[in-house]
């Protein structure tokens, strides 16, 4: 099942970020039922040389894979897709022009100018990878700057864009809010609802990141299609906390 099919069927698709290069853990997470895993290439310690092995491990565990890119650069976009990431999330997109440049690098002609060399991406693909790729590899722009909020309607209308993904921490910083990622803050809450509304109006998937399990139910109720529930190191921290109670 492709990422697009999973997103369409799951309502929402749950997700965890990975921040350290541990293929055995990526595989285990999938076997334990994590449906989708995002490799965080912006923050954390995953380098380019780790990405291919991590994507193989994610597939072995049965999850679907996304990469949150380090930045909006064509060579990073094309590499992540050629390695076989089904979805890419582009951070810090600040304008419709930046969103357009991102999608151009991620889609084959006529939508864009992705260079053809799928390397591993076509390995498990049945059919014509070139013909199908624009549809089944998904592009998400992060909405996490005041500039992106100001141009939300134009960004959402970018031809070939598949989704909007909110980074609440950067967004709070960029909007000058007193607290970071406080979903009860009326300004932040208003942006969340607007992104869901504009996303749906433009036929886009909408996603959001949190590290607090207590946020998840509320985010699902708001109508997000993709909900990141944390990072693997925070899950580890919670698990270790439970173990520590036993031996302390």
Contacts with ligand 3PY by CB under 6 A lie at 91, 144, 167-170, 209
Q: Return the one option of ligand 3PY, Mg ion, none that residue 209 interacts with (CB less than 5 to 8 A, by type).
A: ligand 3PY
∠ at Cα 183 (180, 184), nearest 5°? 110
Rg of the Cα atoms in the chain: 17
H helix runs in the chain, sequence order: 3-10, 23-31, 48-61, 74-83, 96-106, 129-136, 146-150, 152-156, 168-174, 186-201, 216-222, 232-247
Determine if the peptide bond prior to 110 is cis (ω within 30°).
yes
Instruction: Confirm or reject binding of residue 94 to Mg ion (CB under 5 A).
Output: no
Residue 40 interacting with Mg ion (CB under 5 A) = no
- Kindly tell me which of 26 and 142 has the beta carbon lying closer to Mg ion: 142
232 binds, among Mg ion, ligand 3PY, none (CB under 5 to 8 A by kind): none
Q: 164 with 141: CB under 8 angstroms?
A: yes
User: In degrees rounded to 5, what are phi and psi of residue 89?
Assistant: -120, 120
Is 170 a residue that touches Mg ion (CB under 5 A)?
A: yes
- Nearest to residue 223, comparing CAs of 12, 71, 5? 12
43 is a catalytic site residue: yes
Residue 112 lies near Mg ion (rule: CB under 5 A): no
Among ligand 3PY, Mg ion, none, the one that 168 touches (CB under a kind-dependent 5 to 8 A) is: ligand 3PY
* Smallest distance, ligand 3PY to C-beta of residue 124, A: 28
User: Smaller CB distance to ligand 3PY: residue 14 or 169?
Assistant: 169
CA gap 114, 127 in Å, rounded: 19
Contacts to Mg ion from residues 142-161, by CB under 5 A:
144
Does 168 contact Mg ion by CB under 5 A?
no
Asked if 232 touches Mg ion (CB under 5 A), the answer is no
Residues 117 and 48: their CA atoms lie apart, in Å, by 17
Residue 129 binds which entry of Mg ion, ligand 3PY, none, with Cβ cut-offs from 5 to 8 Å by kind? none
What residues are annotated to the active site? Answer: 43
Residues forming contacts to Mg ion in the complex (CB under 5 A) are 144, 167, 170
């Amino acid at each position: 099942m492709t990422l697009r099919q999973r997103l369409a069927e799951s309502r929402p698709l749950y997700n965890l970020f990975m921040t350290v290069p541990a293929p055995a853990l990526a595989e285990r997470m999938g076997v334990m039922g994590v449906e989708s895993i995002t490799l965080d290439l912006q923050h954390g310690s995953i380098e380019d040389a780790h990405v291919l092995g991590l994507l193989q491990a994610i597939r072995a565990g049965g999850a679907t894979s996304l990469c949150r890119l380090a930045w909006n650069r064509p060579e990073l976009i094309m590499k992540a897709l050629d390695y076989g990431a089904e979805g890419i999330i582009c951070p810090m997109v600040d304008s419709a022009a930046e969103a357009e440049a991102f999608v151009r690098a991620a889609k084959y002609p006529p939508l864009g100018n992705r260079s053809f060399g799928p390397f591993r991406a076509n390995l498990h693909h049945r059919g014509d990878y070139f013909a199908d790729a624009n549809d089944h590899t998904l592009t998400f722009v992060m909405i996490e700057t005041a500039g992106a909020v100001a141009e939300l309607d134009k960004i959402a209308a970018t031809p070939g864009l598949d989704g909007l993904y909110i980074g609440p921490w950067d967004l709070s910083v960029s909007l000058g809010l007193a607290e970071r990622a406080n979903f009860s803050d009326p300004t932040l809450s208003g942006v969340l609802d607007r992104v869901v509304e504009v996303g749906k109006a433009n036929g886009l998937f909408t996603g959001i990141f949190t590290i607090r399990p207590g946020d998840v139910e509320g985010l699902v109720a708001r109508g997000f299609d993709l909900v990141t529930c944390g990072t693997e190191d925070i899950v580890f921290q919670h698990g270790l906390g439970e173990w520590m109670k036993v031996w302390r």
